[in-house]
Structure 1
Amino acid sequence: MHSGIFKVCLVVVTAIVNHPLLFPNNDTSVPANDDLIVQKLREREEILKKQQLELEELLFREQEPAGDAKTESEEPEGGARWDLWSTVSMVIFLMIEVWRQDFKDNSHEQSKEEEDLVFIGNHCHGVTLPNKPMLTIFHDQYIRATTHDAVRSREFVEGFADDLLEALRSVCNRDTDMEVEDSICVGSMYENWRVNKPLICDLLVPFAPPEPYHFRCQPWVSDPSIRPDRQSFGTILVCGPDDNPSGCVCDKKRLGEDMLCLLHNLTTNDKKVNEEINLLCCKNSNYLDVDQVMKWFQTTVTKAWSKISHKYEFEVTFSNLDSPGALRVKFKSGKVISLNVTPVVRYEDSNLYFISHFPSMPREVSCSIQWMLSFAVYERSFLKDFAKKLPDNSCHLSCLQIMTFLRSKQCHITGPSGLTTYHLKTVLMHLLLSQPCSGWANVMLEERLRDMFRSLEKSLLEKKLLHFMVGNWKLPDTVNLPQHFRVAEPVNLFRSFVLNRDLYQQTLSMFYEMLKNATVMINEYSLHLPNGSASKPAH
């Protein structure tokens, strides 16, 4: 009987050892293309199965009655023992099978996406992109033709913005209203890679409260209590005279309640200033409210334009109600120029700004006291300084322009996705630091464009694209970013893909469709010279 128990245990052990959970068929440590190893594994599997069948047959024979060798009194005891071990064996086999099925069900959903990604992950390496001559023709005949009037548009916008902001200051009360600084030009138009029409100029307008009030910016970039997808945000605390130990920004002795500060021409109990400030704060708090600032700015811009509109022979309207400074200038000739004048708050004495929203991106639904961080000034400075190290007529901006064009055309076909032009720009800036400067010569356009596609694909599959400025130890010293942001934990710009699977699948599908259609789109919008005659590019 002991031998029977031993055989039962042996059957169980053999089944467990031979179970596919312990020796999966898709073991990635085994080379799939090594026929000899695969054949040996199959032979070993057949031997184990044969041994298992033999043991099961012996177990079945052990269950047969032993005839004259057994007495009637021994049969119930042996049968009871056998029933016990048989039951235990059945339970063990049942537990293993339930565990296996549960494991397969759980892992199936988790691995389904990864299996699909492994399958489609090779597309970028095998995709047929247009060759160098075709890319050059496309860039020279379509992109340059599209952006040839960019310089004149920028000059007009800068002059008009200066006039508008001067009028804005004149309609404000200098003692109680916000102080508006000169505009700062940023974005693709001023980095020379804007492709799509209409050509939109982005301008930042810093503002600050009247003294003795001031803003205290509180970035969340290194706050461990903040969710990873919100670390590129922060809050702005409005501080008044009571928050200053001296009671006045001149840092002299505390003045009496009714005494006048000759330096700042403000009394310490100026209730009107306090009321104006409170209108821009979130209810029952001292935090600057995004929605209130947007309403204030839009109202003030409207008053400013009404004051100077008689000087111009064009119309100015708000092109986007969700963006307070999204203006559309329409001339009598029908020409249209768009500009985004966005209110921002400067972070300390740096070129980092807290922005209400990014006009080129849909505004996220979030708490109204959360402001986004904008590194646009640093990014423009980096691209401008780095271009001095590259060969003449380098192809880095051409790569970004082509990818931006393809993304825009594909989104018109398949609809919007989670992939933005800022993501493409981030990929380019990372590649600039990882590639030798000599590798960006114009003759390397095809190779560098393929590198950008591969880098973007890798980031999408990993759902990880690190912010170029925050926590980037490769950042050149010429980028005078505050040390607090240099040593911070990197921010993942693709964090939304981890949280939103539908958005991720939609974006990934759009990316591979864009790859597949790249050659067709570029050929369609290129200037073909089949018989020496030129045809106009499609629009």
Structure 2
Amino acid sequence: MFRTTMQSGIFKVFLVVITGIVNHPLLFPKDNATLPATDEHLLEKMREHEENLRIQQLQLEQLMTNVESQEEEPRTDIEAWDFWSALSMAIFLLIEIWRQDFQDGNGQEQGKEEDDLHCLGNSWQGVSLPNKTMLAIFYDQYIRGATHDAARTREFVEGFADDLLEALRSVCNRDADMEVEDSVCVGSMYENWRVNKPLVCDLIVPFAPPEPYQFKCQPWVTEQSIFPGYGTIQVYGPDDEAAGCVCGKTKLGEDMLCLLHSQDTKRNVDGELDLLCSKNSNYLSTNRVMKWFQTSVTKAWSKISHKYEFDLTFSHLNAPGALRVKFKSGKVISFNITPVVQYEDSDLYLISHFPNTPEIQAESSNVHWILSFAVYERRFLKEMAKYLPENSCHLSCLQIMTFLYSKQCHISGPSGLTTYHLKTVLLHLLLSRPSSDWSVVMLEERLRDMFKSLEKCLLEKKLNHFMVGNAKLPNFVNLPESFHLAEPLNLFRSFVLNRDLYQKTMTMFYEMLKNARVLINEYSVHIPATGGNKSSL
């Protein structure tokens, strides 16, 4: 009986050892195909297994105590027990030593993506920017030279746009067609950081239906939304019910059109009119609105073209009002005028297309409109300038980054990074750093901060929208509360979903860093080396 008990004890020792080895997370991870993503998770998992083994060891010791309380065992059994106990301890020690080696060495393998990120994160070490003197020369010689006629360009575009919109209203049926309001100036040209030529002005034109109809905007701004950062626009009738085509419900005059129809008074072969709404729905279609607006602009220009001695054409047809003015002298001025719908009584607009990045619209359906915070962003920059030092360097930093970005795009092609992302990084930094840090003499340091901040966001695949869900947003911005209190909106969400796009963007970013010094030197007046210190990123 005593021998049977001892054999049972030895069997349990074997069982504990084998269980410990099989269940060890590092030896047999087949039940956990992927290791924990972080060191903390990995260590926590190990601690749990060690605690389980310690409990099992205590149970064995209690078993041994019970056995020893019985009659004395033969010498051979004791020697056998000592042998197996020593073997068990040796196995436990080997597991522990192997675990320590795993922690200190290369055992902490991560997924392929994490390995790539660590490599990328170290590749900028040693990259340097030109010193303060060279940056100042580059800004004076190139940036200022490239934007010297910006004021005259803005003045011309604003005057011509007003005339064009007035002509557009005159060709519309005021009782049945869309009501077009005055244009609103937005974007880099009016925020004074546009660098790339041609100097393109961006204007948005709010439009609304005639009474008693109305638009109801339904913005979606959360990460959980199907299209975060987008919204839909429904058409409602006089009874606050979703309006489809009312032609069959109301007796209209012979020359009067339903508000959902285009301004074209000619019926097609089937006797139907083109709708501004998406087919079989009461949601405004971005594509149909674009065609309506292009048709309206064409008619408006034909009415006033005799007053001007230049040609007006569409730059490209995948944006509503991407226009190009060409003078007889050969000079060309481009500008974008885009129809938008105002969200309630605010300065937030739903825009049909972003003219400079039309591919963004292709990612969504034609009933989803892009949320534009352009008016709030311009207001923020204007108000912040009152608190910054005279001739502050914040816009200079953005201009230099935009210059480097555009040149790199010409070399390596487009990626998932846009100038709007660069602007968003600056807006966040303006709130996170004291106003005194933006003195003109701090250009070098702040430019380095912007690159580092952008790199951090890229590595984390997270860049929060500046307006949506930003608790630090100043009160003077006056953003609608629902957006101020919303969950943050990640502008780098596409990188999480598209690994190829992410890798291409990271490669482009680090190439931009490496080429920064060469590009700035090429576009600057050459001066002898001053011996100034280089600024490492």
Is the 1:223–1:231 contact (alpha carbons within 8 Å) kept by the matching residues of 2?
yes
Paired position in structure 1 for 2:277: 281
Q: Write the letter of the residue equivalent to 1:521.
A: L
TM-score of the aligned structures, taking structure 2 as reference length: 0.75
| 1:272 equivalenced with 2:257 (yes/no) | yes
Is the 2:393–2:443 contact (alpha carbons within 8 Å) kept by the matching residues of 1?
yes
Please report how far the alpha carbon of residue 3 of structure 1 lies from its aligned counterpart in structure 2 after TM superposition: 7.6
Paired position in structure 1 for 2:160: 160
Match of 1:485 among 483, 486, 490: 483
Match of 1:243 among 234, 237, 240: 240
Please report how far the alpha carbon of residue 120 of structure 1 lies from its aligned counterpart in structure 2 after TM superposition: 2.3
Q: Write the letter of the residue equivalent to 1:156.
A: F
Q: Write the letter of the residue equivalent to 2:237.
A: G
Please report how far the alpha carbon of residue 276 of structure 1 lies from its aligned counterpart in structure 2 after TM superposition: 2.6
For the residue of structure 1 that corresponds to 2:476, the secondary structure is: coil
Q: Report the Cα distance in structure 2 between the residues aligned to 1:306 and 1:269, rounded to whole angstroms.
A: 26
Q: Report the Cα distance in structure 1 between the residues aligned to 2:24 and 2:152, rounded to whole angstroms.
A: 75
Q: Report the Cα distance in structure 2 between the residues aligned to 1:4 and 1:152, rounded to whole angstroms.
A: 93
Cα 1:269–1:352 shift into 2, 3 Å: farther
Cα 1:19–1:331 shift into 2, 3 Å: closer
Please report how far the alpha carbon of residue 126 of structure 1 lies from its aligned counterpart in structure 2 after TM superposition: 4.1
Deviations 1:103-135 (A, max 9, x none): xxxx97x61111221222134464211111111
Paired position in structure 2 for 1:318: 314
Deviations 1:163-204 (A, max 9, x none): 110111111111111111111000000000000111100000
Please report how far the alpha carbon of residue 529 of structure 1 lies from its aligned counterpart in structure 2 after TM superposition: 2.6
Is the 1:214–1:240 contact (alpha carbons within 8 Å) kept by the matching residues of 2?
yes
Match of 2:458 among 457, 460, 472: 460
Is the 1:176–1:272 contact (alpha carbons within 8 Å) kept by the matching residues of 2?
yes
Is the 2:214–2:236 contact (alpha carbons within 8 Å) kept by the matching residues of 1?
yes
Is the 1:236–1:369 contact (alpha carbons within 8 Å) kept by the matching residues of 2?
yes
Cα 1:485–1:269 shift into 2, 3 Å: farther
Please report how far the alpha carbon of residue 528 of structure 1 lies from its aligned counterpart in structure 2 after TM superposition: 1.0
Q: Percent identity?
A: 69
Is the 1:124–1:453 contact (alpha carbons within 8 Å) kept by the matching residues of 2?
no
| 1:197 equivalenced with 2:188 (yes/no) | no
Deviations 1:184-230 (A, max 9, x none): 00000000000011110000000011111111111112595x23xx2
Q: Report the Cα distance in structure 2 between the residues aligned to 1:19 and 1:179, rounded to whole angstroms.
A: 67
Cα 1:5–1:239 shift into 2, 3 Å: same
Structure 1, unmatched stretches of 5+, are 30-106, 246-256, 259-266, 533-539
Q: Report the Cα distance in structure 2 between the residues aligned to 1:177 and 1:511, rounded to whole angstroms.
A: 47
Q: Report the Cα distance in structure 2 between the residues aligned to 1:118 and 1:2, rounded to whole angstroms.
A: 51
For the residue of structure 2 that corresponds to 1:361, the secondary structure is: coil
Match of 1:502 among 500, 503, 510: 500
For the residue of structure 2 that corresponds to 1:459, the secondary structure is: helix
Cα 1:27–1:8 shift into 2, 3 Å: farther
Cα 1:235–1:528 shift into 2, 3 Å: same
Q: Report the Cα distance in structure 2 between the residues aligned to 1:28 and 1:382, rounded to whole angstroms.
A: 41
TM-score of the aligned structures, taking structure 1 as reference length: 0.75
Cα 1:2–1:401 shift into 2, 3 Å: same
Please report how far the alpha carbon of residue 531 of structure 1 lies from its aligned counterpart in structure 2 after TM superposition: 10
Paired position in structure 2 for 1:253: none
Q: Report the Cα distance in structure 2 between the residues aligned to 1:242 and 1:10, rounded to whole angstroms.
A: 76
For the residue of structure 2 that corresponds to 1:144, the secondary structure is: helix
Please report how far the alpha carbon of residue 5 of structure 1 lies from its aligned counterpart in structure 2 after TM superposition: 3.9
> After superposition, where does 1:16-165 map in structure 2 within 5 Å?
20-21=26-27, 111-124=111-124, 126-165=126-165
For the residue of structure 2 that corresponds to 1:135, the secondary structure is: helix
The alignment yields a C-alpha RMSD, in angstroms, of: 2.7
Paired position in structure 1 for 2:228: 231
Please report how far the alpha carbon of residue 526 of structure 1 lies from its aligned counterpart in structure 2 after TM superposition: 1.0
Comparing 520-529 with 495-504, greater Cα deviation is found at: 520-529
Match of 2:287 among 288, 291, 302: 291
For the residue of structure 1 that corresponds to 2:111, the secondary structure is: helix
Structure 2, unmatched stretches of 5+, are 1-6, 30-34, 41-107, 243-249, 263-273, 531-537
| 1:179 equivalenced with 2:179 (yes/no) | yes
Q: Report the Cα distance in structure 2 between the residues aligned to 1:6 and 1:12, rounded to whole angstroms.
A: 10
Match of 2:413 among 398, 415, 418: 415
